[in-house]
Amino acid sequence: MTGIKREEIQDAKVKELWWQKRGLMFTSTGYGDAIPTRYMVKVTNRWYRVYCCIHSNSGTLYIKKFPKGEGRFGLNNVVDDNDIMDVIAENSI
């Protein structure tokens, strides 16, 4: 898989937004290009919100990090949800 590798994620945490704490959805349908998730990851000493692009029953998680020559959905920005959960589990011990 291309994208952000497990070794590049320095830290991860759950940081819900106000509407997530209230059980609301970002869009009325739950679908969209840039749905904020409750996760944040630390990559290259900076915290990034993890977003989801979802238009059916499967989504892609990514961070909005804009390397030169790549758009918002550049493959280098994709994050694996299992990696996020692993980092959170490691840090909660």
pLDDT for 1 beyond 60: no
**Lookup: tokens for 62:** 């990514």
DSSP per-residue codes, 36-65: EEEEEEEETTEEEEEEEEESSS-EEEEE--
pLDDT of residue 64: 80
Query: What is the reported pLDDT for 2?
Result: 62
- Whether residue 76 contacts residue 3, with contact meaning beta carbons closer than 8 Å, is answered with yes
pLDDT tens-place string over residues 50-84: 998 888 888 888 888 755 555 554 555 777 878 88
Distance between first and last Cα of the chain: 28
- Alpha carbons 22 and 25: distance in angstroms, whole number: 9
For residue 15, what pLDDT band results from cuts at 50, 70 and 90? very high
Q: How far apart are CA 76 and CA 71, in angstroms?
A: 10
Give the pLDDT confidence of 34-44 residue by residue, as tens digits. Answer: 899 999 988 88
Q: Tell me what pLDDT residue 16 has.
A: 93
Kindly give, in sequence order, each residue whose CB lies less than 8 Å from that of residue 83, ignoring residues fewer than 6 positions away: 4, 5, 6, 9
